[in-house]
């Protein structure tokens, strides 16, 4: 499934982005993925479907809640909402991600010159 | 959420997931249509961007699952469906496996019952047999006075008993009947933990030498003669014309591993044994011991303790006991030690059969794997990973193996008992063979292993195949690596069959060689039986006994067709023996028995040579005139003559022989050929081979009184054996109604049963080899005929281009035979190595070299012939390919 062109995100990245988007507002799957794509300026190549296993994982861990509802386009959709536990999880993840990014950037910096 | 509620909530979760993914796609498609695409284009684009729906949905579900277990269950369900879909394949595979696993289970149940399970006595590990070790004999008879002292002095046994086989004539209860009996001491039953059904066991006081008139009887005799009456205790029973009081009833059919011990009906105190030598410390009366070690005492400690005891004895009684020790052997070792080697060997052989069966199934699976390549490619396209595919294939093969194992278990359960009943009674503990938990675990383990073995290669092959290749590939296959695997497996299978065939061939050759061994006598036309003169004779005078013996000889000689007859003590080769000491006159009298010479003594009548067809080499044999009134004479065999009279001057020399009280001088009057007393194969390895013949009528008076109760007889006749036995019975009953002739054996049967365990090994190994050959043949047939099927097109082109059908035939046969030949070469190389185990492990080889060229050539020819047959049918089919049909078939 994987090759060099469509590299998978690192594990947990998609979940982190989902939580970040849901922090702003509850959304359903389709809207969520459009949001991520738009926000990333289409730099990230995300298989739209891969959102769903990630959402299931978040559901199982209690980071999000889901409820069937009606979307703005009048469709029956499942709307995801961040839980307090999810918010805490997001904070932890973001800070550890930033640490990692900083570390990687430092290592990469001298070569770049 | 607990896992339980999650299990119930799952259905809902899955349907939510599935619904929302569908909704997502629809929304996406609608959005793309709105942006101007056609619906078709939009659907394609949406799916491309969404990814593999099935796989992603599966991943979503897996979040909630215990994935390994659930996919395992799914695999099993699927495997069942696959097996049901191809019933032919499934039936062949399960049947092949059932044969392989069944044979293994059956043999393991024998190994388990005979070798692994503890003996059916309490704390069986404490049980040991005890024998007197003498310079020539590690397991000699213990004299009764020595037993009483050993029993008193030792610190290592909690119980210690001795026993000897004996027999009685039962009179006064219907027809006179000869009963097998055992003379035992008081510890015997408590030692084994056997309690009387009625009454009591013998008391320690009854171990003292005395005229005891008490006996215990078996439940069998109790049912038969006393109608299981509870008031049998205290009743009198007439044995050898004497009244005995019954004091106990004991469970019958004791499988006690002491010689001649099965089916004993009467137990009597050994202290009451009517033999003038019972109180003689140097006597060898066939008395052997069994003991229970004290708790916490190891057998080494017990050996050290008995060393102390026998050292003390040899100081106290140097005359009789100098140089004597005690041999302690764990009871189980004594019972099963001699069969351990060949049972394990057979277990190895039957393992080979299973391996061949596994190779067969692996080849079937490979062929099927080719047919299922598209299925696998589709699965892999749908997102199944390599390990997932391998797991599923292995699940199928293990399921197959377990089904085969279950059927095999049924085969084994039904077949083992039948097989053991049909085979010669050569195995100890046969009654304890059965299916128990350990056998069940063995079957499960062997099935799993087999399933893993034959499933792995096809699974790996299928999984390695590139998805796109498989999907692209048409119905026609390209001969190549796919067939190479099958070819390697076929060669391996052939090699395994060669190894088994070579082993079986060598055993058969050994057996044939053994039949050719000259036993020193001619067994054909000779029958052997037991004679008990009427009970009143046991108190008669020696002269009266000699008269009765002469009358019996005359009655036998008068039977039409009888060419010779002789009474015998110890003179039934391969069946019973007796040893004595002697020294040569002119030598100083040795200080103790251990310094005397040993020999096997045969006490026989004048016709013995004529009966057994033993050659007279020098001098003369006995005549009617060598009786109690004439000079004592002896005839020696060539081995004794050569050993003690190397100058060839044995004739005329005098030897001294006797017991504690009297010694007698015997003049050597003849030299005869050696007889293989110890068995066809093992006689030459025995240290005690020198033989001496004494005239029956010259036995001393005190020994003569033992003749009436138990003497063997050999008769040679030109007539039919069954008719002879009837005539002997009739002639005996004319002499007296109270005389008993029993236990008829032909000498031929005695030789045959001495080879019993070999025949058992040959029969089993032979049938394993045959099974292996058949399986290998079927395997080769399957692969060649599959290959021919695959190459129909090629054959058609060849024929269309002018190839003669003969060339096509040769092509196919040649391909098959090349594989077989490769297998034969590998197999012979392996066999040459493995036969060393056969030789070292079991002593089953006799008179053939380990690399016997005749066997190897024969095996190669048999295997190639079978290979030719296996290829013949597919080759014929290839030859008859109609080019038009083959080409149109595309």
pLDDT confidence of B480, banded at 50, 70, 90? very low
Using CB atoms, pick whichever of B13, B51, B61 lies closest to residue A49: B51
More confidently predicted of B124 and B887: B124
CB contact under 8 Å between B383 and A76, yes or no, is no
CATH number, domain at A75?
1.10.10.10
Predicted pLDDT of residue A113 = 46
- Residue A1 counted as domain residue: no
pLDDT at B637: 94
- For all residues of chain A together, what is the average pLDDT? 83
A109 touches chain B (CB under 8 A): no
Judge whether A2 lies within some domain.
no
Q: Is A5 domain-assigned?
A: no
Rg (CA), chain B: 38
pLDDT tens string B697-713: 998 888 888 888 778 99
Asked if the structure places residue A113 within a domain, the reply is no
- Domain-located, residue A3: no
Distance CA B217, CA B263 (A): 11
Mean pLDDT across chain B, nearest whole number?
A: 85
**What is the C-alpha to C-alpha distance for residues B388 and B373, in angstroms, rounded to an integer?**
15
Higher pLDDT, B169 or B529: B529
Asked if the model's pLDDT at residue B1 lies above 60, the reply is: no
A8, pLDDT greater than 70: no
pLDDT of residue B199: 92
A30 contacts chain B (CB < 8 A): yes
Residues in chain A within 8 Å Cβ distance of B9? none
Average pLDDT over residues B208-229: 91
Domain count, chain A: 1
A23 belongs to a structural domain: yes
- The 3 state secondary structure assigned to B547-592 is HHHHHHHHHHHCCCCEEEEEEEECCECCCECCEEEEEEECECCCCC
Task: Calculate what percentage of chain B has a pLDDT beyond 90.
Answer: 34
Of chain B, the percentage scoring pLDDT greater than 70 comes to 93
What's the whole-number mean pLDDT along residues B580-589?
84
> Stretch B592-620: mean pLDDT, rounded?
89
Mean pLDDT, residues B472-477 taken together: 50
B681's tokens: 């194969």
Per-residue pLDDT tens over the stretch B735-767: 888 888 888 889 988 888 788 777 878 888 888
CA nearest B385 in A: which residue?
A1
Instruction: Let me know if residue A8 belongs to a domain.
Output: no
Minimal C-alpha gap between B79 and chain A (Å): 26
CB within 8 Å: B60 and A76 = no
B491-510 mean pLDDT: 90
Residue at A36 is within a domain: yes
Residue B54 pLDDT greater than 90, yes or no? no
Per-residue pLDDT of B322-369, as tens digits, reads 888 999 999 888 888 877 887 888 888 899 999 999 998 888 888 777
The tens digit of pLDDT for each residue in B250-287 reads 886 555 544 444 568 899 999 988 777 788 887 777 88
Q: Is the separation of the CB atoms in B518 and B562 below 8 Å?
A: no
Dihedral class, residue B389 (left if φ above 0, else alpha if ψ from -120 to 50, else beta)? alpha
Q: Please, are residues B291 and B130 in contact by the beta-carbon 8 Å criterion? A: yes
DSSP track, B194-253: PPPSEE----GGGGSSS---EEEEEHHHHHHHHTT-GGGTT-EEEETTEEEEEEEEE-S-
Whether A38 has its CB under 8 Å from any CB of chain B: the answer is: no
Give residue B477's pLDDT. Answer: 46
Overall pTM > 0.80: no
Q: What angle do CA A50, B66, B3 make, to 5 degrees?
A: 110
Domain extent listing, chain B:
3-65, 136-322, 339-516+756-888, 534-738
In this predicted structure, the answer to whether residue B216 has a pLDDT above a threshold of 90 is yes
Q: What pLDDT is attached to residue A6?
A: 45
Instruction: Give the residue-averaged pLDDT of B184-199.
Output: 90
Q: Which residues from B are below 8 Å from A66, CB to CB?
A: 16
A12 pLDDT band, cuts 50/70/90, is confident
User: For the residues B213-221, what does the mean pLDDT come to?
Assistant: 91
Q: Compute the CA torsion angle B847, B852, B855, B859 (nearest 10 deg).
A: 150
Task: Evaluate whether B525 touches B717 at the Cβ level (below 8 Å).
Answer: yes
Please give the order of strands across the beta sheet that includes A27-28: A27-28, A76-82, A64-70
Residues of A in contact with B52 (CB under 8 A): 1, 49
ipTM higher than 0.90?
no
Q: How far is B41 from chain A (nearest CA, A)?
A: 17
The answer to whether the CB of B163 falls within 8 A of the CB of B184 is yes
Going by C-alpha positions, the residue among B844, B843, B785 that lies closest to residue B813 is: B785
DSSP state of B272: G
A48 and B50 within 8 Å at the Cβ level: the answer is yes
Residue B406 to residue B316: CA distance in whole angstroms: 65
Q: How far is CA B161 from CA B199, B249, B496, in A?
A: 20, 19, 50
Give me the mean pLDDT over the B855-874 stretch: 91
Partnered with residue B711 across adjacent β-strands are B531
Closest CA of chain B from A90, distance in Å: 20
B471 pLDDT above the threshold of 80: no
Residue A50: domain span? 13-108
- Which is more confidently placed, A4 or B554? B554
Q: Is the pLDDT of residue B387 over 90?
A: no
Q: Which residue of B has its CA nearest to A45?
A: B49
- Cβ–Cβ under 8 Å, residues B404 and B447: yes
Q: Give A110 to chain B, closest Cα distance, Å.
A: 38
Note the pLDDT of residue B851. Answer: 82
Residue of B nearest to A58 (CA): B63
B51 neighbourhood in chain A, CB within 8 Å: 47-50
Q: Does pLDDT of B61 surpass 50?
A: yes
Q: Is the pLDDT assigned to residue B889 strictly greater than 60?
A: no
Quote the CA–CA distance of B37 and B45 in Å, as a whole number: 9
CA proximity to B145, closest of B283, B27, B250: B283
- The whole-number pLDDT of residue B261 equals 47
* B82 — pLDDT class (breaks 50, 70, 90): confident
Three-state secondary structure along chain A?
A: CCCCCCCCCCCCHHHHHHHHHHHHCCEEHHHHHHHHHHHCCCCCCCCHHHHHHHHHHHHHHCCEEEEEEECCCCCEEEEEEECHHHHHHHHHHHHHHHHHHHHHHHHHHHHHC
């Amino acid at each position: 499934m994987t090759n060099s062109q469509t590299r998978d995100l690192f594990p947990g990245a998609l979940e982190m982005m989902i939580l970040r988007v849901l922090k702003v507002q509850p959304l359903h799957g389709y809207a969520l993925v459009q949001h991520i794509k738009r926000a990333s300026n289409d730099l990230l190549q995300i298989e739209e479907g891969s959102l769903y296993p990630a959402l299931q994982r978040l559901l199982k861990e209690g980071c999000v809640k889901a409820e069937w509802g009606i979307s703005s386009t009048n469709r029956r959709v499942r709307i995801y909402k961040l839980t307090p536990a999810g918010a805490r999880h997001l904070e932890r993840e973001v800070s550890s991600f930033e640490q990692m990014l900083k570390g990687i950037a430092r290592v990469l910096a001298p070569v770049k010159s | 959420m607990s896992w339980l509620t999650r299990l119930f909530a799952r259905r809902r979760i899955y349907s939510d997931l599935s619904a929302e993914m569908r909704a997502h796609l629809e929304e996406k498609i609608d959005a793309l249509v709105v942006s101007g695409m056609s619906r078709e284009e939009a659907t394609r684009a949406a799916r491309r961007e969404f990814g593999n729906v099935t796989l992603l949905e599966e991943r979503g579900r897996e979040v909630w699952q215990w994935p390994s277990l659930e996919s395992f269950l799914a695999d099993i369900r699927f495997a069942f469906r696959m097996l049901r879909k191809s019933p032919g394949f499934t039936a062949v595979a399960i049947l092949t496996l059932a044969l392989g696993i069944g044979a293994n289970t059956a043999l393991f149940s024998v190994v388990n019952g005979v070798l692994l399970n503890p003996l059916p006595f309490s704390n069986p590990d404490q049980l040991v047999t005890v024998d007197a070790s003498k310079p020539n004999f590690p397991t000699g008879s213990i004299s009764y006075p020595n037993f009483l002292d050993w029993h008193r002095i030792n610190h290592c046994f909690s119980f210690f008993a001795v026993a000897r086989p004996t027999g009685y004539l039962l009179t006064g209860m219907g027809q006179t009947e000869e009963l097998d009996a055992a003379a035992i001491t008081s510890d015997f039953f408590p030692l084994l933990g056997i309690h009387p059904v009625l009454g009591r066991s013998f008391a320690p006081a009854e171990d003292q030498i005395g005229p005891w008139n008490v006996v215990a009887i078996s439940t069998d005799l109790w049912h038969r003669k006393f109608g299981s009456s509870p008031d049998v205790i205290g009743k009198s029973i007439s044995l050898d014309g004497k009244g005995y009081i019954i004091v106990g009833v004991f469970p019958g059919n004791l499988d006690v591993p002491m010689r001649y011990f099965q089916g004993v009906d009467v137990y009597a105190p050994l202290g009451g044994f009517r033999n003038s030598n019972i109180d003689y410390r140097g006597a060898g009366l066939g008395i052997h011991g069994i003991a229970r070690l004290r708790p916490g005492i190891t057998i080494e400690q017990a050996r050290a303790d008995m060393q102390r005891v026998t050292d003390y004895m040899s100081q106290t009684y140097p005359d009789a006991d100098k140089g004597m020790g005690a041999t302690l052997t764990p009871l189980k070792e004594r019972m099963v030690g001699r069969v351990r080697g060949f049972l394990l060997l057979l277990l190895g052989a039957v393992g080979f059969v299973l391996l061949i069966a596994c190779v067969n199934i692996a080849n079937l699976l490979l062929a099927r794997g080719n047919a299922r390549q598209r299925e696998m490619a589709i699965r892999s396209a749908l997102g199944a990973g390599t390990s997932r595919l391998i797991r599923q294939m292995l699940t199928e093969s293990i399921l197959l193996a377990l089904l085969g194992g279950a059927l095999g278990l049924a085969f084994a359960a039904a077949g083992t008992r039948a097989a053991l009943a049909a085979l010669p009674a050569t195995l100890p503990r046969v009654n304890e063979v059965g299916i128990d938990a350990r056998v069940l675990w063995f079957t499960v383990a062997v099935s799993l292993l087999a399933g893993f073995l034959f499933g792995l290669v096809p699974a790996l092959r299928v999984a390695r195949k590139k998805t796109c290749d498989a999907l692209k590939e048409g119905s026609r296959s390209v001969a190549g690596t796919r067939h190479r695997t099958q070819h390697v497996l076929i060669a391996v299978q052939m090699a395994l069959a060669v190894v088994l065939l070579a082993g079986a061939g060598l055993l058969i050759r050994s057996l044939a060689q053994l039949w050719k061994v000259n036993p020193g006598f001619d067994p054909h036309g000779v029958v052997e039986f037991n004679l008990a003169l009427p009970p009143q004779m046991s108190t008669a005078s020696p002269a009266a006994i000699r008269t009765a013996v002469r009358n019996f000889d005359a009655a036998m000689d008068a039977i039409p067709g009888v060419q010779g007859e002789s009474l015998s003590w110890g003179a039934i080769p391969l069946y019973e023996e007796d040893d004595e000491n002697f020294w040569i006159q002119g030598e100083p009298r040795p200080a103790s028995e251990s310094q005397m010479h040993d020999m096997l003594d045969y006490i026989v009548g004048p016709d013995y040579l004529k009966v057994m067809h033993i050659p007279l080499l020098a001098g003369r044999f006995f005549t009617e005139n060598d009786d109690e009134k004439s000079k004592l004479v002896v005839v020696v065999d060539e081995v004794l003559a050569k050993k003690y009279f190397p100058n060839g001057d044995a004739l005329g020399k005098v030897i001294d022989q006797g017991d504690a009280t009297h010694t007698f001088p015997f003049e050597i009057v003849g030299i005869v050929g050696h007889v293989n007393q110890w068995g066809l194969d093992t006689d030459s390895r025995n240290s005690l081979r020198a033989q001496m013949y004494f005239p029956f009528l010259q036995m001393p008076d005190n020994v003569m009184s033992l003749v009436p109760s138990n003497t063997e007889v050999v008769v040679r006749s030109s007539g039919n054996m069954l008719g002879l036995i009837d005539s002997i019975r009739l002639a005996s009953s004319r002499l007296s109604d109270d005389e008993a002739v029993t236990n008829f054996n032909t000498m031929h049967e005695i030789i045959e049963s001495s080879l019993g365990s070999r025949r058992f090994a040959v029969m089993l190994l032979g049938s394993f080899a045959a099974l292996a050959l058949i399986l290998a043949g079927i395997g080769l047939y399957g692969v060649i005929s599959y290959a021919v099927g695959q190459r129909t097109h090629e054959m058609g082109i060849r024929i269309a281009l002018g190839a003669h059908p003969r060339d096509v035939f040769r092509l196919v046969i040649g391909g098959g035979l090349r594989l077989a030949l490769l297998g034969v070469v590998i197999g012979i190389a392996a066999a040459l190595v493995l036969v060393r185990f056969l030789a070292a492990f079991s002593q089953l080889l006799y008179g053939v070299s380990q690399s016997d060229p005749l066997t190897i050539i024969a095996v190669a020819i048999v295997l190639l012939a079978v290979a030719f047959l296996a290829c013949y049918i597919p080759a014929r089919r290839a030859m008859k390919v109609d080019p038009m049909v083959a080409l149109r078939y595309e």
